[in-house]
Amino acid sequence: MTMDRLRLFTLVTLVVNVASHCGYTEATYRALKKLHDILSYGDHFSVLAFPCNQFGEQEPLDMPEIINFVTSEYNVEFPIFNKINVIGEDAEPAFRQLTDESSVVPDWNFYKYLVDETGHVIDAWGTATTIESIFDEINFAVEKAKEKSKSTPPATEKKQKPASEAEKNKDEL
């Protein structure tokens, strides 16, 4: 196994089904952006956004429009994947796994799944759960992944933001 592949196992992710025209869009995208900015230093955390039009048809945009919207309105730098289905027969297999493991099935936009560095779902939250209210649990998972990765240093290291700095920036959410 290569060093780059080992590094993949130290990444904690927050997987979110997103929509551009939802009442939760503004607050959630802004919070996701801040969360990603605070915790992504050192390659131990990333938000993964999956546009979905299954709930109230609130993601009618095509992919270039979605990317333009989230980058121009919210300055998003985390990955935005292709538009997918998250429920039903045509649900993306990754979301089927998330819902099977967590027993939490999205019934609206902005469901959040915290996945540890081994690919297992740690927790899941519905639309109304704010990023601010789950920051500590996410930060704990990231710190745990950092500790595990210390035994296998990454091939190229980015400057890591100290944990105390992440805690200090929590108030920015």
Taking the C-alpha atoms of 60, 63, 67 and 70 in order, what is their torsion angle to the nearest 10 degrees? 20
What pLDDT score does 155 carry?
A: 55
The alpha carbon of residue 35 and the mean position of all alpha carbons in its chain are separated, in whole angstroms, by: 9
- DSSP for 108-155, please give it: SS--EEEE-TTS-EEEEE-TTS-HHHHHHHHHHHHHHHHHHHTTS--S
What pLDDT score does 165 carry?
A: 58
Residue ranges of the chain whose pLDDT lies below 70: 1-10, 151-173
**Catalytic annotation, pick one of 12, 19, 22, 47:** 22
What pLDDT score does 43 carry?
A: 84
Integer Cα distance of 131 and 135 in angstroms = 6
Q: Is 136 left (phi over 0), alpha (psi -120 to 50) or beta?
A: alpha
Catalytic-residue membership of 22: yes
List domains and CATH numbers for the chain: 3-172 (3.40.30.10)
What pLDDT score does 100 carry?
A: 96
- Residue spans of beta strands (DSSP E) within the chain: 12-18, 45-51, 112-115, 121-125
